[in-house]
Structure 1
Amino acid sequence: MKNKLIRAAFAAALSATLLVPTVASACTTVLVGKNASTDGSTFIARNEDSMTAWPKYFLVHEAKNNPAGTMYKSTGNNFTCELPAHAYKYTATPENDESEGQFEEAGINEKGVAMSATESGSYNDKIAKADPLVEDTGIGEDSMVTAVLPYISTAREGVERLGALVEKYGSAEVNGVAFSDKDEVWYMEIGSGHHWVARRIPDNYYAVVANQIAIQKIDFNDTKHFMWSTGLQEFVKKNNLNPAKSGFNFREIFGTNDKDDLTYNIPRVWYGQKVLSPSQVENQKIDSTTIPFYRKPDKKIDKDAIAKVLSSHFNDTKYDSYGKNEGSLRPISVPRTMESHIIQFRQNMPVEISGVQWVALGVPETSVYVPFYAGITQTPEAYRTGTATPSDDSAYWAFRTTNALVRPQYKALMPTVTPVMNNVTHKLNQNLKASDEEAMKIYNNNPLDKTALQKYLTEQGEKNATYAIDEFKALNAQLIKQYTALNPIYHNSDL
């Protein structure tokens, strides 16, 4: 696809300059069912990886009516589709430069549905021959959130709408897409030009996905937990694509299990499961091709546990990216992460308060997840500002600068960053707890009038963002002083 190729080529050129390896596929996804979390929340989360210096925005799109015949047109390729009559309000994290596609990536709509797109993947040669991608006119990552999220009222509807678009127009890429609401978490995989499957994550399980088709056994008799494209079974049978004599394993039929998977994809899933289910993976090899799609956690999962996974680099193992194995395996957190999000829906709250989009701009290992309620009507100006050139008024650059300073002197500077991150995270968690209580008071006082509630929730997002940005700007100033002192001296310093 045009935009993905351009972004990949730019990243490759930049990485060549910095002596950092790169590939086109990127991102890591975490999905958590409501009974696997500490408080009954559902979670979908992902690192958006592509470019080392490519600003992202965080916006609110107002609800609107579309006149009959309103068309969506991608700027990334020639995908076009007619839009439904009404678009719900939704949040999104688009590109600073949308000339090659919007890439809105993740958000929550006013109906209490979240979407994260995409987890890039690959299909095998047999599938490519039988049902090739529709790169010129099919739907791709750049269009998915924009063309789907404003028009759905449940997570299941999200799968249905995107599936219908793929079947009608084709898909430009192999992708994984997450949908959630208060009750359900769905993971959908587009495995070819027109075929896809979706698996509801069981309520007491979680999943970690890393640039490889992950969904395994499909039960075509269980429509409560599985969805699939029209004619999928017939397509596979007609083209003799199933390597097994019985059953239907989507990963084995559509996916890859090659050398690149062993170093680039599988190790990230291994580590995510090691963090969340350590007792269950003691004998699981880091390059095992039989790692299950989902597991039960050893203990209930909260937002901070997901953040630990998304900010990791094989910590406390012999594979640590900052240890002897530097560069040998692809970690979860990388310099190419542009933004990371954790989207949470809590129980027993109105949707405006229940939904929280935790946004970490830049690299999550050296950033913090700032909470924004689903009921906000505007994002802070710093999240709507900034260009490819670093600027003081941009939230993206405030957080991205920290990683740029730390990475070349990681061992010396990370001890300065960690306590600041911990303190800011703790404060933001406290702030959310306090604002939850006040927001519920406002809601209970007048459930039919959302104006006061929306105003309060928007103010809390502004408050939390300002606090986090100010703390990181102060941290960056301190890091610059330390970094300067670490510069090597190339002359006799006694002279």
Structure 2
Amino acid sequence: MAFKEQSFSACTSVLVGKKASIDGSIMIARNEDAKTAWPKHFFVYNSKQNDTEQIFTSLDNGFTMKLPQNSARYTATPEWTNKYGVFAEDGFNEYGVAMSATESAYANERVLGVDPLVSSGIGEEAMVTVTLPYIHSAREGVAYLGNIISQKGASESNGILFADQKECWYMEIATGHHWVAQRIPDDSYAVVANQLAIQEIDFTDAVNFMFSPNIENFVSQNHLNVDHNGFNFRKIFGTQDLSDSIYSTPRVWYGQKYLNPEIHQDPMSQELPFIRKASQKISREDVEFILASHFQGTDYDPIGQGPENLKHKFRPISLAKTQESHILQIRPNFPSEIAGIQWLSMGVTAQSVFVPFYSSICDTPESYKIGTDTYSFKSAYWKYKLLGVLVDSNYLQFGEKLKAMQKEVRIELNNRVKKIDNQVLAKEVQENVRDFITAASIDNSLYAIKQVEDLTAQLITEATAFSPLNFKTDANL
């Protein structure tokens, strides 16, 4: 994520094809990272039928475009303030399409010198808002956003994730007007971390690749291809420097290490593949683990037992600057009301829990709609952040208690989802299905927050004994 007046962010994304997952789900997931105290909200935006022309204008960079008069209902996690723009980031629309934007990336000076970024072009702040309400499939999402880039230009290099019940796509914007997108093979997965990741493009395969108009000629005419043969988008448009090896590739390495432990790779390698087939089927819990990971089981874990010179060598996937984390899961053979689930984790992923919100909800919990950059006990974001702060300050004493709570909540929420599914499928729901789904999703969030509040109370109580002003008195005195 990127703000004009804030630190440039760095997210991590995971995409899973339907035959690669344990239950046939398609999953697109991402950590949204920016600042340590920068709340996200969670809203449902209702569909609209407007009589007049609609114009979107970005508060971030002035990007402007005409919008279709009719928009679909969609969910999103915008910023707590619109001072820098919306940054809606992720959600589902009423057609079952999921979108997550963006994975910040970098293009090299050579390609930017020929097709520079457009300062008033589309950027992360606007992408979900001007795209998700107007598309009916993942493939259409790529084409729709690609058309905007062709007409208006892009202000940033970014990766965007799209999914529907049939397929998922990863789209990468490199320069002001050039982009590519690849369909994730059904039997494969991808982990992406702040680099242009897509490799060989097959321009004859319209089923699995999409790309900006004239990109082949652009590369050829400007002598940009470093290889003798083929069209490796990452090599042509991306960066391959030492900062990538420290900041980005180790996160891809760890995700691939977890899903393919039999394959040995160098965490600093610039040759890690974009697409892999996992050694076994991937569960949603596997995706949760990757998004919450910090190099556990290696010398690079910042809270592990490795050598001090290695514990902070690489940037971990989960870190203090994570605002929210999401897994957009689309399940096969389910009716539209319950096929999509937006698993949402507020705050630092490693210290939070993923709460399931069905994509067809009419509303979100009140605590997810509030919170500013100053702590508030009423805000869901801050409830999870407070627990993380307590654990951080006394990790040896509190770390295992956090893990136990997270495990208990995961089990209970999985049970709840199964029960909700069965009630809908068995047609046991008496009221409107969407009202039932909304109430059930809000109840899930209230349950999770109650467990977080209970553990927070326990840790605060125990922490009173850790004061440096404490003194052990001799019982014989």
Kindly provide the amino acid, as one letter, of the partner of residue 111 in structure 2. I
- Could you tell me which of 294, 304, 315 is aligned with 2:275? 294
- Could you tell me which of 415, 419, 429 is aligned with 1:430? 415
1:463-488 deviations in whole A, cap 9, x for unaligned? Answer: 10000011101111112223332233
Q: Secondary structure at the match of 2:154?
A: coil
Partners of 1:487 and 1:32 lie apart in 2 by 46
Cα RMSD, aligned residues only = 1.7
Aligned in 2, Cα 1:452/1:492: closer, same or farther, shift over 3 Å?
A: closer
1:366-387 deviations in whole A, cap 9, x for unaligned? Answer: 1100001111100111111222
Kindly provide the amino acid, as one letter, of the partner of residue 75 in structure 1. L
After TM superposition, list the pairs within 5 Å mapping 1:106-121 onto structure 2: 106-121=90-105
Contact in 2 for aligned 1:385/1:394 (Cα 8 Å): yes
Partners of 1:144 and 1:410 lie apart in 2 by 38
Q: Secondary structure at the match of 1:34?
A: coil
Residue number in structure 2 paired with 1:419:
404
Residue number in structure 1 paired with 2:285:
304
Kindly provide the amino acid, as one letter, of the partner of residue 356 in structure 1. I
Partners of 1:493 and 1:389 lie apart in 2 by 39
What percent identity do the matched residue pairs reach?
48
Partners of 1:81 and 1:352 lie apart in 2 by 32
Partners of 1:336 and 1:481 lie apart in 2 by 27
After TM superposition, list the pairs within 5 Å mapping 1:88-487 onto structure 2: 88-135=72-119, 137-279=120-262, 281-282=263-264, 284-323=265-304, 324=307, 325-442=310-427, 452-487=432-467
Number of aligned residue pairs: 471
Contact in 1 for aligned 2:138/2:164 (Cα 8 Å): yes
Partners of 1:163 and 1:462 lie apart in 2 by 35
Q: Which moved more, 1:407-416 or 1:342-351?
A: 407-416
Contact in 2 for aligned 1:25/1:211 (Cα 8 Å): no
- Could you tell me which of 32, 37, 49 is aligned with 1:48? 32
| TM superposition score normalised by structure 2 | 0.96
Q: Which moved more, 1:265-274 or 1:432-441?
A: 432-441
Runs of 4+ in 1 over 3 A off after TM superposition: 489-495
Partners of 2:228 and 2:285 lie apart in 1 by 43
Contact in 2 for aligned 1:442/1:452 (Cα 8 Å): no
Partners of 1:432 and 1:334 lie apart in 2 by 28
Kindly provide the amino acid, as one letter, of the partner of residue 270 in structure 1. W
Contact in 1 for aligned 2:138/2:162 (Cα 8 Å): yes
Residue number in structure 2 paired with 1:12:
none
- Structure 1 segments unaligned to the other structure (5+ residues): 9-23
Partners of 1:7 and 1:161 lie apart in 2 by 29
Kindly provide the amino acid, as one letter, of the partner of residue 270 in structure 2. T
Partners of 2:26 and 2:129 lie apart in 1 by 22
| TM superposition score normalised by structure 1 | 0.92
Residue number in structure 2 paired with 1:84:
68
What's the offset of the Cα at 1:493?
7.4
Aligned in 2, Cα 1:212/1:349: closer, same or farther, shift over 3 Å?
A: same
Residue number in structure 1 paired with 2:51:
67
Q: Secondary structure at the match of 2:142?
A: helix
Contact in 2 for aligned 1:133/1:192 (Cα 8 Å): yes
Partners of 2:213 and 2:64 lie apart in 1 by 21
- Structure 2 segments unaligned to the other structure (5+ residues): none
Partners of 2:257 and 2:224 lie apart in 1 by 33
1:399-430 deviations in whole A, cap 9, x for unaligned? Answer: 11111111232222111111011101110010
Partners of 1:428 and 1:172 lie apart in 2 by 40
Partners of 2:102 and 2:442 lie apart in 1 by 28
Kindly provide the amino acid, as one letter, of the partner of residue 344 in structure 1. Q
Contact in 2 for aligned 1:25/1:120 (Cα 8 Å): yes
